[in-house]
Copies of this chain bind each other. A is one copy, B any other.
Amino acid sequence: MGRAVVLLSGGLDSSTCLALARARGLECHTVAFDYGQRHRAELLAAERVAAALGASSHRIIQLGLGSIGGSALTDSAIAVPEHGGDGIPVTYVPARNTVFLALALGLAEVLDAAEIHIGVNAVDYSGYPDCRPEFIDAFQRLAEVATKAGVEGHGPQVVAPLLMLGKADIIRAGAAAGLDYRLTVSCYQASELGEACGRCDSCRLRREGFAAAGVADPTRYRGA
């Protein structure tokens, strides 16, 4: 059975990614990051999802992205948007996926894992430079020279199964793999209990995805 490190935020995409890896029979070691995000709900969601899907281990790595700033997700002085817009959104965290993959690479080396799974998606996050195929390819090349395993010719493969899928396809795939989306939290400003605001860009994409997939939306909305 292959071993994989799976980046798991507790959101819809990364939870689907874990469900697909588990459906393939992989031994999965999940990683979440405590990076100064505004709420703890997604860290709690990641723990629930890792347990529900049978991850072999789950880690929360402390990461002081707040010292860098520059994003609505880590800097309370920048407002979370409640409408889509052009260009790179203020919810983009500079170099976030580079940092997350770098830490996953270190863990993959320690665990001797053959794969690193990341739930990036180029369709809904076209404004994020580090959610594009070019980025994944460049990180793959880096992984091949950055570690002992890579130098020896068996560096981990970076797997991004959702890269070219729309939200509805992602939801259908995850539901078919047995993921209960009620466990996941996507909202940029969820309550501590994991209730979604229903208004931010992330809530909007998620709600539209369930509708398009023809899957009942299990999201717990505040005041609903």
Q: Verify if A183 is at the interface (C-beta below 8 Å from B).
A: no
Interface residue ranges of A79-117 to B (CB < 8 Å)? 88, 92-99, 101-103, 105-107, 109-110
Interface of A is mostly: helix
Q: Is the CB of A64 within 8 A of B67?
A: no
Q: Is the CB of B61 within 8 A of A148?
A: no
Q: Verify if A138 is at the interface (C-beta below 8 Å from B).
A: yes
Q: Which residues of B contact A105 (CB under 8 A)?
A: 94-95, 98
Which of A37-45, A47-55, A129-137, A190-198 interfaces with chain B? A129-137
Q: Is the CB of A67 within 8 A of B63?
A: no
Among A59, A134, A145, which residue has the most Cβ atoms of chain B within 10 A? A145
Complex CA–CA separation, A176 to B101 (angstroms): 39
Q: Chain A: interface residue count, which band?
A: 35 or more
Return the chain B residue nearest A71 by Cβ. B110
**Mask of A118-132 contacts with B, CB within 8 angstroms, 1/0:** 000000000001101
Complex CA–CA separation, A214 to B143 (angstroms): 39
Complex CA–CA separation, A196 to B205 (angstroms): 55
